[in-house]
Each structure stands twice: as C-alpha cells, then as structure tokens.
Amino acid sequence: MIRCHLSTLMGRHKLRVSDVARITGLNRSTVTSLCNETATRVELPAISKLCELFRCGTAELFEYVPDEAERHI
C-alpha cells in the first residue's frame, strides 16, 4: 500500500484543502482524495506541484507500506 502524508504536511503548514488547491492549481477533489488516502491514481505533474509547495521529496509525500500478505512473501 502507498501511504500519502499530504494531510500531515498540510497540518504542519496550517493549510486547508482549498489553500493547497488554490496555490498549486490542482483540482480540489485531487487534493481531497490524496488527503483522505482514497486516490487510486495521481499524475506526475500533481506530485511535482505538491513537492514544490512543501519543498519536499517524493519520499516525504509518499511511503510504501507492505500489506500483510506481502510481508509473508
């Protein structure tokens, strides 16, 4: 599973979904789905805009966490 730490980054910077959408130009629903970790697909330009906004790398924005089934392989 891929975990998204966007909500944590937003909390640190005291930004709301609407703020991130306005600053980055991303669709509000894209930001919301990433915050809620319900996104199934994210475009590379969107990731780039978020990394630019928070001055972070992709490893700070996303984290790979093996599923229980994957841990036994």
Q: Are 71 and 26 in contact (CB under 8 A)?
A: no
What pLDDT, in 10s, does the model give residues 2-47?
999 999 999 999 999 999 999 999 999 999 999 999 999 999 999 9
CATH number of 2-68: 1.10.260.40
Q: Does the predicted model carry a pTM greater than 0.85?
A: yes
